[in-house]
Amino acid sequence: MKALIQFWAVRTQREKFILSGGGAILAGMLIYAYALKPMEMERITISARLPEMRTTAMQMQSALGEVKKLRAILPAGGTNDTSRATTRNIVLKTLAADGMDADQIEVLRSGKFKVSLKMIPFAKYTKWLETLQTRHGIRLELCDLQVVGKPNMVDVTSTLMRP
């Protein structure tokens, strides 16, 4: 430190001015290079992604509205067995209403239902799922579709659950 003080003390006023000015310019360049330029680049990146982020936020708001609507539909209370029996009855009634018949309905340990349907039109299947979700709050968790010989006909094994 003494060497630096001595170095500074022997400099003329003009040399001190030049060294101070050079140090200030160097400090300014370093601040720009390591702080201001990266912040400007990040601002440009965020500005470019802003429309995408707004779209995502609107989709999330829409999903929140749907969740609230579905939660309002679900019946409150009831025991687990009653809920399972009710859900099974709903599945059977909605299948019958759409003119379909389940080959097998299996109640899984977790309270989910595994429904097997054979040779059904795909459009009827999607309509049935929509009815289950919008009217009864039963959602599809897993689906195994296999196309069979005829056009638009499928064999389906679906795992359904009621939140």
93-106 tens-digit pLDDT: 998 888 888 888 88
Mean pLDDT of the region 75-94: 70
Q: What is the average pLDDT score of the chain?
A: 87
| Per-residue pLDDT reduced to its tens digit, 34-56 | 999 999 999 999 999 999 999 99
Among the listed residues 137, 140, 115, 17, the one whose alpha carbon sits nearest the alpha carbon of residue 70? 137
Q: Residues with Cβ < 8 Å from 108, sequence gap 6 or more?
A: 114, 159
- Owner of token pair 């599809």: 140
Mean pLDDT of the region 3-15: 92
| Per-residue pLDDT reduced to its tens digit, 121-157 | 999 999 999 988 888 888 899 999 998 888 889 999 9
Confidence of residue 79 (pLDDT cuts 50, 70, 90): very low
Q: What is the C-alpha to C-alpha distance for residues 21 and 33, in angstroms, rounded to an integer? A: 18
